[in-house]
Amino acid sequence: MPTSDHPVNADDYLNSIKPGLRTSALRAFHPDILKLRAAGCTLAQIAEFLRINGLTTTLSSVGKYLQKHAPVSSPPAAPQPRSAAAKRPEPPVAPDRSEPPGFKSAEQLRAENPTLPRIQINKLYAQQYDRPVLSPQEIEEFKRKYPPPPTKHSSR
């Protein structure tokens, strides 16, 4: 029975329509998806498996499905970091002759900072080049020693 506030109540409306189902098309492949993920398959590989089986989906959809429906105890097989005991000792690194004097190679920096990630080592390495190697006096001396070639426009 309609009220004065609403021309149609919720029960009448629900009886007149078929509500959208909130089940994923991936649900039919649930055991297979979990099995593939537990075996270490990437989202792209799982999406390819689904495509071969007639279901076109995106990596994002597969990832969201796994976040929502995969049990917490079965994360993808990811490479585990090596423990400190399993690491090989780094050999002492001799100075690299291709580096300017006073600069350290990436290998030297890695040996001095074994706990830093590679990207931080690369940043340390690059920061060395942030400082000028030549002083302004040395630059002026090079300019005098090696003058620029004369240009064609200078003789008129």
Residue 119: predicted pLDDT: 87
Give the torsion sign (CA, 111, 114, 118, 119): negative
- Helix, coil or strand: residue 27: helix
At 24-54, the pLDDT tens digits run 788 889 899 989 988 988 988 999 999 999 9
Give the torsion sign (CA, 37, 43, 48, 52): positive
Residue 114: predicted pLDDT: 84
- How far is 105 from 95, CA to CA, in rounded Å? 7
Residue 82: predicted pLDDT: 57
Residue 45: predicted pLDDT: 92
Residue 146: predicted pLDDT: 83
Residue 11: predicted pLDDT: 85
Q: Residue 23: CA atoms inside 13 Å, Cβ hemisphere, count?
A: 6
Question: Per-residue confidence of the chain (156 residues) as pLDDT tens digits?
Answer: 545 577 888 888 888 887 766 667 888 898 999 899 889 889 889 999 999 999 888 888 888 888 888 776 544 555 555 555 455 555 555 544 566 667 788 888 888 888 888 888 888 888 877 766 677 788 788 888 887 778 877 555
Residue 75: predicted pLDDT: 47
The amino acid sitting at 80 is Q
The amino acid sitting at 114 is P
The amino acid sitting at 28 is A
- How far is 141 from 37, CA to CA, in rounded Å? 65
- How far is 65 from 43, CA to CA, in rounded Å? 11
Residue 22: predicted pLDDT: 65
Residue 125: predicted pLDDT: 82
Residue 139: predicted pLDDT: 79
Q: CA–CA distance from 134 to each of 57, 96, 100, 137 (Å)? A: 58, 20, 11, 8
